[in-house]
Structure 1
Protein backbone atom coordinates (compact mmCIF):
# COMPACT_ATOMS: atom_id res chain seq x y z
CA UNK A 1 0.00 0.00 0.00
CA UNK A 2 1.45 3.36 -1.00
CA UNK A 3 1.39 6.49 1.08
CA UNK A 4 -1.78 7.69 -0.64
CA UNK A 5 -3.60 4.38 -1.01
CA UNK A 6 -4.87 4.47 2.57
CA UNK A 7 -7.44 7.09 1.62
CA UNK A 8 -9.66 6.38 -1.36
CA UNK A 9 -9.90 10.04 -2.41
CA UNK A 10 -6.28 11.10 -1.88
CA UNK A 11 -5.18 9.89 -5.31
CA UNK A 12 -7.99 11.48 -7.33
CA UNK A 13 -5.69 14.19 -8.64
CA UNK A 14 -2.92 11.78 -9.54
CA UNK A 15 -2.59 9.88 -12.79
CA UNK A 16 -5.10 9.12 -15.50
CA UNK A 17 -8.16 7.36 -14.10
CA UNK A 18 -10.44 7.72 -17.12
CA UNK A 19 -9.85 4.15 -18.20
CA UNK A 20 -10.49 2.71 -14.76
CA UNK A 21 -14.19 3.68 -14.56
CA UNK A 22 -13.96 3.36 -10.80
CA UNK A 23 -14.09 6.81 -9.27
CA UNK A 24 -17.14 8.34 -7.67
CA UNK A 25 -18.80 11.64 -8.60
CA UNK A 26 -20.94 9.83 -11.18
CA UNK A 27 -18.06 9.85 -13.68
CA UNK A 28 -16.52 6.99 -15.55
CA UNK A 29 -19.83 5.15 -15.94
CA UNK A 30 -21.89 4.71 -19.09
CA UNK A 31 -25.60 5.54 -18.98
CA UNK A 32 -26.89 2.59 -16.94
CA UNK A 33 -30.26 2.59 -18.71
CA UNK A 34 -28.97 2.83 -22.28
CA UNK A 35 -30.78 0.15 -24.30
CA UNK A 36 -32.53 -1.32 -21.24
CA UNK A 37 -36.12 -2.52 -21.65
CA UNK A 38 -38.23 -0.33 -19.34
CA UNK A 39 -41.40 -2.47 -19.52
CA UNK A 40 -42.57 -4.05 -16.28
CA UNK A 41 -41.38 -7.68 -16.35
CA UNK A 42 -43.97 -10.41 -16.77
CA UNK A 43 -45.29 -11.71 -13.49
CA UNK A 44 -44.21 -8.62 -11.54
CA UNK A 45 -46.71 -6.16 -10.07
CA UNK A 46 -46.04 -2.62 -11.27
CA UNK A 47 -47.39 -1.24 -8.00
CA UNK A 48 -45.09 -3.45 -5.95
CA UNK A 49 -42.07 -2.71 -8.11
CA UNK A 50 -42.79 1.01 -7.90
CA UNK A 51 -43.08 0.94 -4.13
CA UNK A 52 -39.87 -1.07 -3.83
CA UNK A 53 -37.99 1.44 -5.98
CA UNK A 54 -39.44 4.16 -3.78
CA UNK A 55 -38.10 2.48 -0.63
CA UNK A 56 -34.60 2.28 -2.05
CA UNK A 57 -34.79 5.72 -3.63
CA UNK A 58 -35.91 7.35 -0.38
CA UNK A 59 -33.00 5.75 1.48
CA UNK A 60 -30.55 7.15 -1.05
CA UNK A 61 -32.15 10.59 -1.26
CA UNK A 62 -32.26 11.19 2.49
CA UNK A 63 -28.73 9.93 3.16
CA UNK A 64 -27.46 12.03 0.24
CA UNK A 65 -28.89 15.10 1.97
CA UNK A 66 -27.21 14.17 5.24
CA UNK A 67 -23.82 13.62 3.61
CA UNK A 68 -23.98 16.90 1.70
CA UNK A 69 -24.66 18.68 5.00
CA UNK A 70 -21.02 18.03 5.88
CA UNK A 71 -19.95 20.75 3.44
CA UNK A 72 -18.17 23.47 5.51
CA UNK A 73 -18.44 21.25 8.62
CA UNK A 74 -16.13 18.28 8.07
CA UNK A 75 -12.81 18.02 9.95
CA UNK A 76 -10.81 18.73 6.79
CA UNK A 77 -11.54 20.33 3.44
CA UNK A 78 -10.71 17.07 1.72
CA UNK A 79 -13.38 15.26 3.73
CA UNK A 80 -15.95 17.87 2.76
CA UNK A 81 -15.23 17.15 -0.89
CA UNK A 82 -15.27 13.40 -0.36
CA UNK A 83 -18.51 13.31 1.64
CA UNK A 84 -20.28 15.68 -0.73
CA UNK A 85 -19.37 13.49 -3.68
CA UNK A 86 -20.49 10.34 -1.90
CA UNK A 87 -23.77 12.17 -1.40
CA UNK A 88 -23.91 12.97 -5.11
CA UNK A 89 -23.47 9.29 -5.91
CA UNK A 90 -26.49 8.49 -3.74
CA UNK A 91 -28.45 11.35 -5.26
CA UNK A 92 -27.82 9.89 -8.70
CA UNK A 93 -29.11 6.52 -7.52
CA UNK A 94 -32.16 8.19 -5.96
CA UNK A 95 -33.01 9.96 -9.21
CA UNK A 96 -32.97 6.73 -11.19
CA UNK A 97 -34.92 4.79 -8.57
CA UNK A 98 -37.62 7.41 -8.02
CA UNK A 99 -38.02 7.93 -11.76
CA UNK A 100 -38.51 4.18 -12.13
CA UNK A 101 -41.04 4.22 -9.31
CA UNK A 102 -43.16 6.80 -11.12
CA UNK A 103 -42.88 4.90 -14.40
CA UNK A 104 -44.24 1.62 -13.11
CA UNK A 105 -46.61 2.46 -10.25
CA UNK A 106 -49.23 4.01 -12.54
CA UNK A 107 -48.98 7.54 -11.13
CA UNK A 108 -46.59 9.06 -13.66
CA UNK A 109 -44.82 10.97 -10.88
CA UNK A 110 -41.39 12.41 -11.61
CA UNK A 111 -38.31 12.35 -9.43
CA UNK A 112 -39.12 15.94 -8.39
CA UNK A 113 -42.65 14.95 -7.39
CA UNK A 114 -41.24 12.31 -5.08
CA UNK A 115 -38.52 14.51 -3.64
CA UNK A 116 -40.31 17.81 -3.13
CA UNK A 117 -44.03 17.24 -2.95
CA UNK A 118 -44.51 14.46 -0.43
CA UNK A 119 -45.19 14.85 3.28
CA UNK A 120 -43.02 13.24 5.93
CA UNK A 121 -45.30 10.22 6.41
CA UNK A 122 -45.13 9.47 2.68
CA UNK A 123 -41.39 8.83 2.78
CA UNK A 124 -40.39 5.16 3.15
CA UNK A 125 -36.73 5.41 4.08
CA UNK A 126 -35.24 3.53 7.02
CA UNK A 127 -34.70 5.64 10.13
CA UNK A 128 -30.93 5.05 10.00
CA UNK A 129 -30.47 7.53 7.15
CA UNK A 130 -32.57 10.37 8.54
CA UNK A 131 -30.97 10.97 11.94
CA UNK A 132 -28.92 14.15 12.33
CA UNK A 133 -25.25 13.77 11.43
CA UNK A 134 -23.95 13.99 14.97
CA UNK A 135 -20.16 13.93 15.12
CA UNK A 136 -17.88 12.67 12.37
CA UNK A 137 -17.55 9.22 13.95
CA UNK A 138 -21.33 8.76 13.99
CA UNK A 139 -21.57 9.65 10.30
CA UNK A 140 -18.70 7.31 9.45
CA UNK A 141 -20.37 4.49 11.37
CA UNK A 142 -23.69 5.12 9.63
CA UNK A 143 -22.03 5.16 6.22
CA UNK A 144 -20.19 1.92 6.98
CA UNK A 145 -23.40 0.16 8.02
CA UNK A 146 -25.49 1.51 5.15
CA UNK A 147 -22.93 1.00 2.39
CA UNK A 148 -22.19 -2.55 3.51
CA UNK A 149 -25.85 -3.56 3.60
CA UNK A 150 -26.86 -1.73 0.41
CA UNK A 151 -23.91 -3.02 -1.56
CA UNK A 152 -24.84 -6.59 -0.63
CA UNK A 153 -28.41 -5.90 -1.74
CA UNK A 154 -27.31 -4.39 -5.05
CA UNK A 155 -25.23 -7.47 -5.80
CA UNK A 156 -28.42 -9.48 -5.44
CA UNK A 157 -30.54 -7.05 -7.47
CA UNK A 158 -28.04 -7.11 -10.33
CA UNK A 159 -29.43 -10.55 -11.19
CA UNK A 160 -33.03 -9.62 -10.39
CA UNK A 161 -36.07 -9.77 -12.66
CA UNK A 162 -36.37 -6.04 -13.47
CA UNK A 163 -33.76 -4.96 -16.06
CA UNK A 164 -33.94 -1.32 -14.99
CA UNK A 165 -33.42 -2.08 -11.31
CA UNK A 166 -30.63 -4.50 -12.26
CA UNK A 167 -28.88 -1.80 -14.30
CA UNK A 168 -29.13 0.70 -11.44
CA UNK A 169 -27.77 -1.94 -9.06
CA UNK A 170 -24.77 -2.75 -11.27
CA UNK A 171 -23.75 0.90 -11.36
CA UNK A 172 -24.66 1.54 -7.73
CA UNK A 173 -22.64 -1.42 -6.47
CA UNK A 174 -19.49 0.08 -7.97
CA UNK A 175 -20.15 3.39 -6.25
CA UNK A 176 -21.00 1.76 -2.93
CA UNK A 177 -17.79 -0.24 -3.02
CA UNK A 178 -15.95 3.05 -2.55
CA UNK A 179 -18.41 4.37 -0.01
CA UNK A 180 -17.75 1.23 2.00
CA UNK A 181 -13.99 1.53 1.53
CA UNK A 182 -14.04 5.19 2.61
CA UNK A 183 -16.08 4.44 5.75
CA UNK A 184 -14.01 1.39 6.63
CA UNK A 185 -10.75 3.33 6.28
CA UNK A 186 -11.98 6.01 8.65
CA UNK A 187 -13.37 3.42 11.07
CA UNK A 188 -9.94 1.81 11.26
CA UNK A 189 -8.13 5.15 11.43
CA UNK A 190 -10.23 6.34 14.36
CA UNK A 191 -10.57 2.98 16.10
CA UNK A 192 -6.87 2.20 15.91
CA UNK A 193 -5.81 5.77 16.64
CA UNK A 194 -5.75 7.50 19.99
CA UNK A 195 -7.70 6.39 23.03
CA UNK A 196 -10.06 9.32 22.52
CA UNK A 197 -10.64 8.67 18.81
CA UNK A 198 -11.34 5.01 19.58
CA UNK A 199 -13.91 6.01 22.20
CA UNK A 200 -15.66 8.30 19.73
CA UNK A 201 -15.67 5.65 16.99
CA UNK A 202 -17.02 3.00 19.34
CA UNK A 203 -19.73 5.44 20.48
CA UNK A 204 -20.66 6.03 16.83
CA UNK A 205 -21.01 2.31 16.16
CA UNK A 206 -23.02 1.82 19.35
CA UNK A 207 -25.38 4.63 18.31
CA UNK A 208 -26.12 3.34 14.80
CA UNK A 209 -26.27 -0.37 15.60
CA UNK A 210 -29.91 -0.38 16.82
CA UNK A 211 -30.89 1.05 13.42
CA UNK A 212 -29.23 -1.67 11.35
CA UNK A 213 -32.12 -4.08 11.86
CA UNK A 214 -34.46 -2.12 9.58
CA UNK A 215 -32.10 -2.66 6.67
CA UNK A 216 -32.18 -6.42 7.29
CA UNK A 217 -35.91 -6.84 7.96
CA UNK A 218 -38.18 -7.50 5.00
CA UNK A 219 -41.07 -5.14 4.33
CA UNK A 220 -44.20 -6.75 2.94
CA UNK A 221 -43.51 -5.46 -0.57
CA UNK A 222 -39.99 -6.91 -0.47
CA UNK A 223 -41.39 -10.26 0.56
CA UNK A 224 -43.97 -10.22 -2.25
CA UNK A 225 -41.19 -9.54 -4.75
CA UNK A 226 -39.01 -12.31 -3.30
CA UNK A 227 -36.32 -9.83 -2.23
CA UNK A 228 -36.17 -10.42 1.51
CA UNK A 229 -33.12 -8.52 2.87
CA UNK A 230 -33.02 -10.91 5.83
CA UNK A 231 -31.24 -13.34 3.49
CA UNK A 232 -28.29 -10.93 3.53
CA UNK A 233 -28.04 -10.76 7.31
CA UNK A 234 -25.16 -13.19 7.82
CA UNK A 235 -22.81 -11.86 5.11
CA UNK A 236 -23.53 -8.23 6.06
CA UNK A 237 -22.89 -8.83 9.75
CA UNK A 238 -19.74 -10.78 8.90
CA UNK A 239 -18.36 -7.91 6.79
CA UNK A 240 -19.15 -5.39 9.50
CA UNK A 241 -17.57 -7.58 12.18
CA UNK A 242 -14.40 -7.87 10.08
CA UNK A 243 -14.14 -4.08 9.71
CA UNK A 244 -14.79 -3.50 13.40
CA UNK A 245 -12.19 -6.08 14.39
CA UNK A 246 -9.62 -4.43 12.12
CA UNK A 247 -10.33 -1.17 13.94
CA UNK A 248 -9.73 -2.92 17.28
CA UNK A 249 -13.25 -2.09 18.38
CA UNK A 250 -16.14 -4.17 19.70
CA UNK A 251 -19.21 -5.27 17.75
CA UNK A 252 -22.18 -3.60 19.49
CA UNK A 253 -24.88 -5.71 21.08
CA UNK A 254 -27.61 -3.05 21.36
CA UNK A 255 -31.21 -4.11 20.75
CA UNK A 256 -33.00 -2.85 17.61
CA UNK A 257 -34.61 0.59 17.79
CA UNK A 258 -38.21 0.28 18.94
CA UNK A 259 -41.02 0.44 16.42
CA UNK A 260 -44.10 2.62 16.90
CA UNK A 261 -47.18 0.45 16.93
CA UNK A 262 -45.20 -2.22 15.13
CA UNK A 263 -44.35 0.21 12.34
CA UNK A 264 -41.13 1.96 11.33
CA UNK A 265 -39.57 3.98 8.53
CA UNK A 266 -40.67 1.65 5.73
CA UNK A 267 -44.26 2.24 6.88
CA UNK A 268 -43.88 6.02 6.99
CA UNK A 269 -43.21 6.28 10.73
CA UNK A 270 -40.14 8.45 11.31
CA UNK A 271 -38.16 10.36 13.88
CA UNK A 272 -38.47 14.12 14.28
CA UNK A 273 -35.20 14.48 12.38
CA UNK A 274 -36.83 13.69 9.03
CA UNK A 275 -39.28 16.58 9.26
CA UNK A 276 -36.46 19.06 9.79
CA UNK A 277 -34.46 17.56 6.94
CA UNK A 278 -37.40 17.76 4.53
CA UNK A 279 -38.11 21.35 5.51
CA UNK A 280 -34.66 22.27 4.22
CA UNK A 281 -34.71 19.91 1.25
CA UNK A 282 -38.10 21.05 -0.04
CA UNK A 283 -38.23 24.74 0.87
CA UNK A 284 -37.06 26.22 -2.45
CA UNK A 285 -39.35 24.04 -4.59
CA UNK A 286 -42.34 24.85 -2.39
CA UNK A 287 -41.54 28.55 -2.29
CA UNK A 288 -41.37 28.67 -6.09
CA UNK A 289 -43.73 25.96 -7.42
CA UNK A 290 -43.35 25.28 -11.09
CA UNK A 291 -39.99 27.04 -11.32
CA UNK A 292 -37.21 25.55 -13.40
CA UNK A 293 -33.45 26.05 -13.14
Structure 2
Protein backbone atom coordinates (compact mmCIF):
# COMPACT_ATOMS: atom_id res chain seq x y z
CA UNK A 1 0.00 0.00 0.00
CA UNK A 2 1.31 3.42 -0.95
CA UNK A 3 1.63 5.86 1.95
CA UNK A 4 0.68 8.69 -0.41
CA UNK A 5 -2.48 6.81 -1.36
CA UNK A 6 -3.42 6.15 2.27
CA UNK A 7 -2.92 9.75 3.38
CA UNK A 8 -4.48 11.12 0.20
CA UNK A 9 -7.58 8.97 0.61
CA UNK A 10 -7.95 10.07 4.24
CA UNK A 11 -7.95 13.70 3.17
CA UNK A 12 -10.19 13.16 0.13
CA UNK A 13 -12.89 11.22 1.95
CA UNK A 14 -13.04 13.51 4.98
CA UNK A 15 -13.12 16.53 2.66
CA UNK A 16 -16.21 15.10 0.98
CA UNK A 17 -17.88 14.33 4.30
CA UNK A 18 -17.31 17.89 5.54
CA UNK A 19 -18.52 19.25 2.22
CA UNK A 20 -21.86 17.56 2.90
CA UNK A 21 -22.47 20.22 5.54
CA UNK A 22 -22.79 22.92 2.85
CA UNK A 23 -26.20 24.50 3.38
CA UNK A 24 -26.80 22.49 6.55
CA UNK A 25 -24.37 23.82 9.17
CA UNK A 26 -25.96 25.23 12.36
CA UNK A 27 -24.71 28.79 11.75
CA UNK A 28 -23.28 30.64 8.75
CA UNK A 29 -19.88 31.15 10.37
CA UNK A 30 -19.56 27.41 10.93
CA UNK A 31 -20.59 26.67 7.36
CA UNK A 32 -17.64 28.78 6.18
CA UNK A 33 -15.27 27.14 8.68
CA UNK A 34 -16.19 23.60 7.68
CA UNK A 35 -15.95 24.51 3.99
CA UNK A 36 -12.47 25.93 4.52
CA UNK A 37 -11.34 22.79 6.34
CA UNK A 38 -12.79 20.67 3.53
CA UNK A 39 -10.88 22.71 0.94
CA UNK A 40 -7.63 22.38 2.91
CA UNK A 41 -8.07 18.62 2.96
CA UNK A 42 -8.94 18.52 -0.72
CA UNK A 43 -5.74 20.41 -1.51
CA UNK A 44 -3.73 17.90 0.49
CA UNK A 45 -5.50 15.04 -1.28
CA UNK A 46 -4.67 16.45 -4.72
CA UNK A 47 -0.95 16.69 -3.92
CA UNK A 48 -0.79 13.24 -2.34
CA UNK A 49 -2.79 11.45 -5.02
CA UNK A 50 -0.75 13.11 -7.76
CA UNK A 51 2.27 11.31 -6.31
CA UNK A 52 0.54 8.04 -7.15
CA UNK A 53 -1.10 8.77 -10.49
CA UNK A 54 -3.83 10.87 -12.09
CA UNK A 55 -5.71 12.51 -9.24
CA UNK A 56 -9.08 12.59 -11.03
CA UNK A 57 -8.93 8.94 -12.02
CA UNK A 58 -7.93 7.94 -8.51
CA UNK A 59 -10.76 9.95 -6.97
CA UNK A 60 -13.55 9.18 -9.40
CA UNK A 61 -12.84 5.90 -11.16
CA UNK A 62 -11.64 3.55 -8.44
CA UNK A 63 -13.94 0.97 -6.94
CA UNK A 64 -14.69 0.96 -3.23
CA UNK A 65 -12.19 -1.79 -2.34
CA UNK A 66 -9.34 0.20 -3.95
CA UNK A 67 -9.61 3.06 -1.45
CA UNK A 68 -7.18 2.94 1.47
CA UNK A 69 -8.63 5.54 3.83
CA UNK A 70 -9.26 5.04 7.52
CA UNK A 71 -12.73 3.85 8.38
CA UNK A 72 -13.01 6.77 10.81
CA UNK A 73 -13.09 9.45 8.11
CA UNK A 74 -15.82 7.72 6.10
CA UNK A 75 -18.31 7.66 8.95
CA UNK A 76 -21.49 9.69 8.29
CA UNK A 77 -21.70 13.20 9.69
CA UNK A 78 -24.57 12.47 12.03
CA UNK A 79 -25.50 15.53 14.05
CA UNK A 80 -23.07 18.42 14.50
CA UNK A 81 -21.67 16.99 17.74
CA UNK A 82 -20.94 13.68 15.99
CA UNK A 83 -19.05 15.52 13.25
CA UNK A 84 -17.01 17.40 15.86
CA UNK A 85 -16.14 14.13 17.63
CA UNK A 86 -14.86 12.68 14.34
CA UNK A 87 -12.97 15.89 13.61
CA UNK A 88 -11.29 15.92 17.02
CA UNK A 89 -10.05 12.35 16.73
CA UNK A 90 -8.71 12.77 13.20
CA UNK A 91 -7.33 16.32 13.33
CA UNK A 92 -5.29 15.64 16.48
CA UNK A 93 -3.91 12.50 14.82
CA UNK A 94 -3.15 14.28 11.54
CA UNK A 95 -1.51 17.24 13.31
CA UNK A 96 0.81 14.98 15.29
CA UNK A 97 1.58 12.83 12.24
CA UNK A 98 2.35 15.77 9.94
CA UNK A 99 4.50 17.41 12.61
CA UNK A 100 6.59 14.22 12.69
CA UNK A 101 6.81 14.07 8.90
CA UNK A 102 7.71 17.77 8.65
CA UNK A 103 10.62 17.24 11.03
CA UNK A 104 12.00 14.30 9.06
CA UNK A 105 13.48 13.86 5.61
CA UNK A 106 11.20 12.03 3.21
CA UNK A 107 9.12 12.64 0.10
CA UNK A 108 6.40 13.97 2.42
CA UNK A 109 8.52 16.54 4.28
CA UNK A 110 7.62 19.57 2.16
CA UNK A 111 3.93 18.71 2.00
CA UNK A 112 3.78 18.08 5.74
CA UNK A 113 5.61 21.34 6.53
CA UNK A 114 2.88 23.27 4.72
CA UNK A 115 -0.07 21.11 5.72
CA UNK A 116 0.79 21.05 9.42
CA UNK A 117 -0.09 24.75 9.60
CA UNK A 118 -3.50 24.06 8.11
CA UNK A 119 -4.08 21.06 10.32
CA UNK A 120 -3.15 23.06 13.42
CA UNK A 121 -6.20 25.22 12.66
CA UNK A 122 -8.36 22.11 12.09
CA UNK A 123 -7.30 20.79 15.48
CA UNK A 124 -7.87 24.12 17.22
CA UNK A 125 -11.31 24.38 15.64
CA UNK A 126 -12.29 20.89 16.81
CA UNK A 127 -10.94 21.41 20.32
CA UNK A 128 -12.79 24.72 20.62
CA UNK A 129 -16.09 23.05 19.78
CA UNK A 130 -15.44 20.10 22.09
CA UNK A 131 -14.92 22.50 24.98
CA UNK A 132 -17.95 24.55 23.99
CA UNK A 133 -20.29 21.58 23.60
CA UNK A 134 -18.91 19.40 26.36
CA UNK A 135 -19.08 22.11 29.00
CA UNK A 136 -22.26 23.65 27.55
CA UNK A 137 -25.83 22.51 28.03
CA UNK A 138 -26.86 19.07 29.25
CA UNK A 139 -28.04 18.21 25.73
CA UNK A 140 -24.86 19.36 23.97
CA UNK A 141 -22.77 17.44 26.52
CA UNK A 142 -24.81 14.28 26.00
CA UNK A 143 -24.75 14.50 22.21
CA UNK A 144 -20.99 15.01 22.07
CA UNK A 145 -20.33 12.19 24.52
CA UNK A 146 -22.51 9.92 22.39
CA UNK A 147 -20.49 10.82 19.28
CA UNK A 148 -17.16 10.32 21.00
CA UNK A 149 -18.25 6.92 22.33
CA UNK A 150 -19.63 5.77 18.97
CA UNK A 151 -16.47 6.65 17.01
CA UNK A 152 -13.90 5.44 19.54
CA UNK A 153 -13.72 1.95 18.07
CA UNK A 154 -12.42 3.37 14.77
CA UNK A 155 -9.47 5.24 16.29
CA UNK A 156 -7.09 2.30 16.71
CA UNK A 157 -6.59 2.02 12.96
CA UNK A 158 -4.86 5.42 12.92
CA UNK A 159 -1.82 3.81 14.56
CA UNK A 160 -1.38 0.80 12.34
CA UNK A 161 1.89 0.73 10.41
CA UNK A 162 1.79 2.34 6.97
CA UNK A 163 4.62 1.28 4.69
CA UNK A 164 6.71 4.24 3.59
CA UNK A 165 6.16 6.30 6.73
CA UNK A 166 9.06 6.24 9.18
CA UNK A 167 6.97 6.86 12.29
CA UNK A 168 7.08 5.52 15.85
CA UNK A 169 3.41 4.54 15.83
CA UNK A 170 3.33 3.55 19.50
CA UNK A 171 4.72 6.92 20.56
CA UNK A 172 2.28 8.69 18.23
CA UNK A 173 -0.59 6.80 19.81
CA UNK A 174 0.59 7.80 23.29
CA UNK A 175 0.81 11.47 22.31
CA UNK A 176 -2.61 11.33 20.69
CA UNK A 177 -4.23 9.69 23.70
CA UNK A 178 -2.68 12.23 26.08
CA UNK A 179 -3.94 15.13 23.94
CA UNK A 180 -7.43 13.67 23.58
CA UNK A 181 -7.65 12.95 27.31
CA UNK A 182 -6.62 16.50 28.18
CA UNK A 183 -9.28 18.05 25.94
CA UNK A 184 -12.02 15.72 27.15
CA UNK A 185 -11.24 16.32 30.78
CA UNK A 186 -11.32 20.10 30.30
CA UNK A 187 -14.66 19.67 28.52
CA UNK A 188 -16.05 17.61 31.45
CA UNK A 189 -16.35 14.57 29.16
CA UNK A 190 -15.43 10.96 29.83
CA UNK A 191 -12.74 9.22 27.80
CA UNK A 192 -14.28 6.07 26.24
CA UNK A 193 -13.00 2.66 27.30
CA UNK A 194 -9.42 2.11 26.19
CA UNK A 195 -7.75 -0.75 24.33
CA UNK A 196 -7.36 -2.80 27.52
CA UNK A 197 -11.11 -3.45 27.53
CA UNK A 198 -11.16 -4.54 23.91
CA UNK A 199 -13.32 -1.56 22.93
CA UNK A 200 -10.55 -0.03 20.80
CA UNK A 201 -11.24 -2.15 17.73
CA UNK A 202 -9.15 -1.07 14.74
CA UNK A 203 -10.84 -1.10 11.35
CA UNK A 204 -9.54 -2.42 8.08
CA UNK A 205 -9.94 0.58 5.78
CA UNK A 206 -6.22 0.48 5.01
CA UNK A 207 -6.80 -2.99 3.55
CA UNK A 208 -9.70 -1.79 1.40
CA UNK A 209 -12.47 -3.03 3.69
CA UNK A 210 -14.99 -0.30 4.38
CA UNK A 211 -18.16 0.25 6.32
CA UNK A 212 -21.59 0.25 4.67
CA UNK A 213 -22.03 4.07 4.50
CA UNK A 214 -18.83 4.39 2.46
CA UNK A 215 -20.32 2.70 -0.60
CA UNK A 216 -23.17 5.20 -0.73
CA UNK A 217 -20.77 8.12 -0.24
CA UNK A 218 -18.49 6.97 -3.06
CA UNK A 219 -21.45 6.53 -5.40
CA UNK A 220 -22.52 10.11 -4.73
CA UNK A 221 -19.00 11.50 -5.04
CA UNK A 222 -18.30 9.73 -8.33
CA UNK A 223 -21.73 10.05 -9.96
CA UNK A 224 -21.16 13.17 -12.07
CA UNK A 225 -17.74 12.11 -13.35
CA UNK A 226 -18.94 8.63 -14.28
CA UNK A 227 -22.08 10.03 -15.93
CA UNK A 228 -20.05 12.23 -18.27
CA UNK A 229 -16.78 10.38 -19.01
CA UNK A 230 -14.14 12.51 -20.64
CA UNK A 231 -16.11 15.73 -20.15
CA UNK A 232 -14.22 18.99 -19.55
CA UNK A 233 -15.23 22.51 -18.57
Query: Structure 2 length as normaliser, TM-score?
Result: 0.94
Whether the 8 Å CA contact 2:49–2:55 is kept in 1: the answer is yes
Q: 1:85 aligns with which of 36, 41, 61?
A: 36
Match of 2:9 among 58, 64, 67: 58
Q: Which runs of 5+ in 1 are unaligned?
A: 1-47, 103-109
Q: 2:125 aligns with which of 182, 205, 211?
A: 182
Of the two, which has the highest radius of gyration? Answer: 1
Q: Note the alpha carbon deviations across 1:181-214, whole angstroms, 9 max, x for none.
A: 1111110101111111111111111111111101
1:232 aligns with 172
Q: What is the aligned counterpart of 2:140 among 197, 203, 210? A: 197
Aligned residues: 229
1:271 corresponds in structure 2 to 211
Specify which structure has the bigger relative contact order, considering alpha-carbon pairs within 8 angstroms and separated by 6 or more residues: 2
Structure 2 partner of 1:244: 184
Say what the alpha-carbon RMSD is for the aligned residues.
1.4
CA positional deviation for 1:119:
0.2
Distance in 1 between residues matched to 2:189 and 2:140, nearest whole Å: 11
**CA-to-partner distance for each residue in 1:209-247, whole Å, 9 max, x for gaps?**
11110101224x25xx53353330111111111111110
Matched residue, 2:110:
167
Q: Distance in 1 between matches of 2:215 and 2:105?
A: 34
Matched, 1:218 2:169: no
Residues 258 and 182 from structure 1, CA distance in 2 versus in 1: closer, same or farther, beyond 3 angstroms? closer
Gaps of at least 5 residues in structure 2 are none
**Distance (whole Å) between structure 1 residues aligned to residue 136 and residue 166 of structure 2:** 43
Q: Is the contact made by 2:193 and 2:200 (CA closer than 8 Å) also made in structure 1?
A: no
2:226 to 286, 290, 293: 286
**Residue 131 of structure 2 contacts residue 187 of structure 2 at CA under 8 Å; is this kept in 1?**
yes
**Structure 2 residue 50 is matched with structure 1 residue 99:** yes
Paired with 1:67 and 1:273, the residues of 2 have a C-alpha distance of 15
1:9 corresponds to: none
Who is 2:75 aligned against? 131
| Structure 2: distance between partners of 1:80 and 1:173 | 22
Q: Of residues 47, 62, 67 in structure 1, which corresponds to 2:18?
A: 67
Q: What SS class does the counterpart of residue 141 from structure 2 fall into?
A: helix
Q: With structure 1 as the length reference, what TM-score do the two structures score?
A: 0.75
Alignment equivalent of 1:207, drawn from 141, 150, 172:
150
The answer on whether the counterparts of 2:157 and 2:202 sit within 8 Å (CA) in structure 1 is no
2:24–2:31 Cα contact (<8 Å) kept:
yes
Q: Within 2, Cα distance between the matches of 1:146 and 1:127?
A: 11
Report how far residue 250 of structure 1 moved: 0.8
- Is the Cα contact below 8 Å between 1:153 and 1:229 reproduced in 2? no
